[in-house]
Structure 1
Amino acid sequence: MTEEEKAQQEARTRSKLMEGLARAERTLFTRPAPKSPRAQMKFLRTREKGSTKSLAERLGVSRKTVQRYLSGASIKPSKRLQEALVQETEAEWQPQVRARARQHAASLGGMVISCRAYFGFGPEGTSDAGRVRDISVAVSAFHAAAILAAQEDGATQSDLHDAVAEAIADTYFRQAGGGRAGLEVKFADVEWLNIAF
């Protein structure tokens, strides 16, 4: 595998980890986020303290475009703008609900990580040999705190990947020590990943 292919694979893995955390947070919303482009623009403008200029910069569009959507003159955004509106709205929606859930996961509740990925730690030809596995584990609050802290601190792909890999390895393969404390587990090629608080 070339360095470029490896970098692309790492970027896809980080994207899946970030998407998994975002999906977990969306399930916590107590009210649905705004759906129409106009409602999303109005909501985001309030988050930008009424500034259409800073909202336009945030979305990567002109100030006139923002004003057209706010007035109702435009109603059908481009695919790129629609994705930006959804992403930015969900990132700002119900921050207190999200913060409480993250605090609970990091202090008491932990989180459940389900994924399909390549895991390996034993020699070829044994039942421990590396292969693609479907795994669902409830990780401890300690590991949840490490994953959430890495995400909040803008962790690199490898840091976030390492935090999730360590949580899965410790919980599923090492069973929190249990005679396998030094076991090195390879976690790669993530096909899908879901996280629940």
Structure 2
Amino acid sequence: MGKIDEGLERAAQHVVTRQPPKSTAARVRFLVQQYDGSTRAVARLLGVSQRSVERYLTGERKRPPRPIAERIEAEVRRRWQPRVRKRAEKRAAETGITVEARAQFGFASAVGSTDDPRLRLVTQRLPGEYAARLFEARSTGAAERDLEGIVAEGLQEVYFKDGGRRADGLVVEFTGIDYVEFDFG
């Protein structure tokens, strides 16, 4: 999972209406329900034995090792309230999405007016068309580079070109992402 995908996942976690289960047993129970009662499938998902999953379910083992506990929490959060998350994505695809990114932005423009990449912090609201393309690409399993390209194109058009009012012919490179955050609101 790349930084764009992780940023979208964090944004989706902020739209849930109820908090996911807290205890290990409740979290594992939720995962088992998601996999039609298959403890074997959950064991493969988490990278543990089927017997370990059964111990977590019964409460025989309450505190998994930190890496396993983090995996359990991440998988529960990823699957928690899918309809609420889908509604938020649909709304964001119509109204737009806010992007805050600290990354290397470089430009290629008319001859003699290039700018070497440098670290910039940009916060910008992207129109719904870019959000829709981003969600569509993510759902089809697009590579991180493709997701970065969609964000770069959106920032290029809205932030750097100001919607076509300046910098005609400017091409923005979006590389070296330090962090990226999204807000569906």
After TM superposition, the score normalised by the length of structure 1 is 0.86
Matched, 1:170 2:166: no
Alpha-carbon distance in 1 for matches of 2:168, 2:31: 48
Higher strand share: 2
- Equivalence for 2:76: 89
Q: What residue ranges of structure 2 are gaps of 5+ in the alignment?
A: none
Q: How does 1:28-43 map to 2 (within 5 A)?
A: 28-43=15-30
Matched, 1:112 2:98: yes
Residues 122 and 130 of structure 1 are in contact (CA less than 8 Å); yes or no, is this contact kept in structure 2? no
Residues 99 and 180 of structure 2 are in contact (CA less than 8 Å); yes or no, is this contact kept in structure 1? yes
- Equivalence for 1:8: none
**Cα displacement string for residues 98-117 of structure 1 (whole angstroms, at most 9, x for unaligned residues):** 000111111x2110000111
How many residues get paired?
Answer: 182
Shift of 1:181: 4.1
Question: Which 10-residue stretch deviates more, 58-67 or 179-188?
Answer: 179-188
- Equivalence for 1:121: 107
Shift of 1:130: 3.1
Q: How does 1:27-106 map to 2 (within 5 A)?
A: 27-106=14-93
Q: What residue ranges of structure 1 are gaps of 5+ in the alignment?
A: 1-13
Residues 41 and 69 of structure 1 are in contact (CA less than 8 Å); yes or no, is this contact kept in structure 2? yes
Alpha-carbon distance in 2 for matches of 1:148, 1:194: 15
After TM superposition, the score normalised by the length of structure 2 is 0.91
Identity level (%): 37
Alpha-carbon distance in 2 for matches of 1:143, 1:59: 33
Shift of 1:35: 2.1
Q: Could you list the structure 1 runs, at least 4 aligned residues long, displaced by more than 6 angstroms after superposition.
A: none
Residues 3 and 180 of structure 2 are in contact (CA less than 8 Å); yes or no, is this contact kept in structure 1? yes
Alpha-carbon distance in 2 for matches of 1:139, 1:154: 21
Structure 1 residue identity aligned to 2:25 = R
